[in-house]
Amino acid sequence: MTTYQMRFLETSELADALKALGADMRSLPFFSSRSHMRTLFIPRADVRAANVIKQEMLSRGGDAAVHAHAIDCGVSHSDVLLFGTKKQLELLADKLETMTWWGLPDIASDIRKALASLCKKTKTAVLPCGSKLNFGERTLVMGIINLTEDSFYCKSRTGGSIDETVKRALLLSEEGADILDLGAESTRPGSSRVPEDVELERIVSAVRAIRKELPSAPLSIDTTRAGVARAALEEGADIINDISGLAYEPEIARTTAESGAMLVLMHMRGTPETMQSMCQYDNILLEITRFFEKGIDQAASYGLEPSRIIIDPGIGFAKTYEQNLFILKHLEAFQTVGLPLLIGASRKGTIGIATGSKEPEGRLEGTLAVSSLCAWQGVDIVRVHDVAQNKKALMMIEAVKGAQYA
């Protein structure tokens, strides 16, 4: 007898396997909820609640890791790591809801929200230009166009030349870019701000010119200024990419909502000038997730629906080399937010350190590896300088992911 391990990336593949062995197909939901173990992190639970959760998970065939002194209540609170299948976690939530003490109903609610978000579904967003972005089918490619003279990768720069900007937009579109991202202010570490009137002129002129050539191409604007965002949206932009995550000018959320556009909330601290001195975290995945939750609530207060938001953990922004790698290793942490995920790591310093490439020009291969990693983990958008090369790498990953059960 020969035995081998199977890991099903999608329910459809599990369905094919069940069909091949002649199982009753009505059993698919049953096996789907038990097909793999999930790990959920719960911060600072009342120690009594942590002990209850531990026992309840053990009784269901799962488990929970708690503080070593939780059992004797030697601490007042404990983080909890839950280990269980979707079914086991659902049953745990059912039980905790009936216990009206120690915050257990709130924990049950958080577990349910996390599980609902982890059941990723295909979503379609209609943009002001009339085009649609389909999230969940494949990883989309966002091509970078820097309307500056000092962005860290020289080949992405078009400076103040509208002709060069349009030329690059046409090239990236032809190479398969799903979204074009225009930025008129460098945000590399240590960079200083450009005057708003300069950023405004660059962006408005670029959007106006590109729209004439590419009327239905999804256009993203990399800005933290509400005035620039408003002007760009009036000229036909579709997405505002706010690297501050609404920390600078939260009015951007209202402007985005009123135009029917989408908003990218990126995590960072400080400014590009100061951010690399602000890399201290107790739990980086937890703190970034809480940042997103706060930003989503803040955007909602300005009238922007969560369904119009994309999240970005901000690779290279107020993070060390090791922290950037850790985030890339654990992108699944942000799936519980339940919104499309964007990763922008193209040719950045982390790739340079990992591959021994001092200059951005030597970081293409590392970028392709990161983009492939993102596609395998189901990231919705990768923001890159080299569209054609990244597109082919993603096509290969998607081909493997889509291989039929045999």
Average pLDDT over residues 191-218: 93
Residue type, 273: E
Q: How far apart are CA 145 and CA 384, in angstroms?
A: 10
Q: How far apart are CA 382 and CA 247, in angstroms?
A: 23
Q: What is the pLDDT of residue 2?
A: 83
Distances (CA, A) of 360 to 33, 215, 357, 367: 44, 32, 7, 10
Radius of gyration, alpha carbons of the chain: 23
Q: What is the pLDDT of residue 10?
A: 81
Q: Is pLDDT at 150 greater than 80 in this prediction?
A: no
Q: What is the pLDDT of residue 81?
A: 95
Q: Is pLDDT at 60 greater than 80 in this prediction?
A: yes
Q: What is the pLDDT of residue 153?
A: 66
Q: What is the pLDDT of residue 154?
A: 63
User: For the chain, how far is it from start to end, CA to CA, in angstroms?
Assistant: 19
Average pLDDT over residues 114-131: 90
Can you read off the two tokens belonging to residue 118? 């982890």
List pLDDT tens digits, range 351-376.
999 999 999 999 999 999 999 999 99
Q: What percent of the chain has pLDDT over 70?
A: 97
Q: What is the pLDDT of residue 20?
A: 87
Paired residues of 157 in beta bridges: 146
pLDDT band at 310 (very low <50, low <70, confident <90, very high): very high
Nearest to 249 by CA among 174, 322, 199, 190: 199
Nearest to 183 by CA among 198, 171, 163, 170: 198
Domains defined along the chain, listed by start: 1-35 (no CATH), 38-118 (3.30.1370), 123-401 (3.20.20.20)
239-240-243-244 Cα dihedral, nearest 10 degrees: -140
Q: Is pLDDT at 5 greater than 80 in this prediction?
A: no
Q: Give whichever of 79-83, 186-190, 271-275 has the largest mean pLDDT.
A: 79-83
Average pLDDT over residues 39-54: 96
Instruction: Give Cβ neighbours of residue 88 (< 8 Å, ≥ 6 apart).
Output: 57, 60, 61, 62
Catalytic residue list:
348, 383
pLDDT band at 17 (very low <50, low <70, confident <90, very high): confident
Average pLDDT over residues 323-351: 96
Give the ranges where 302-404 is alpha helix by DSSP (H). 321-329, 349-355, 364-376, 387-401
Q: What is the pLDDT of residue 72?
A: 95
Average pLDDT over residues 72-99: 96
Q: Is pLDDT at 1 greater than 80 in this prediction?
A: no
Average pLDDT over residues 376-387: 97
Q: How far apart are CA 266 and CA 261, in angstroms?
A: 16
Can you read off the two tokens belonging to residue 107? 């924990």
Instruction: Give Cβ neighbours of residue 319 (< 8 Å, ≥ 6 apart).
Output: 279, 284, 327
pLDDT band at 283 (very low <50, low <70, confident <90, very high): very high
Give the ranges where 6-141 is alpha helix by DSSP (H). 11-20, 28-32, 47-59, 86-97, 104-118
Q: How far apart are CA 35 and CA 17, in angstroms?
A: 12
Work out the mean pLDDT of the chain and round it to a whole number: 93
Q: Specify the higher pLDDT residue, 267 or 37.
A: 267
Q: What percent of the chain has pLDDT over 90?
A: 80
Nearest to 93 by CA among 36, 52, 152: 52
Q: What is the pLDDT of residue 264?
A: 98
Q: What is the pLDDT of residue 7?
A: 80
pLDDT band at 260 (very low <50, low <70, confident <90, very high): very high
Q: What is the pLDDT of residue 120?
A: 67
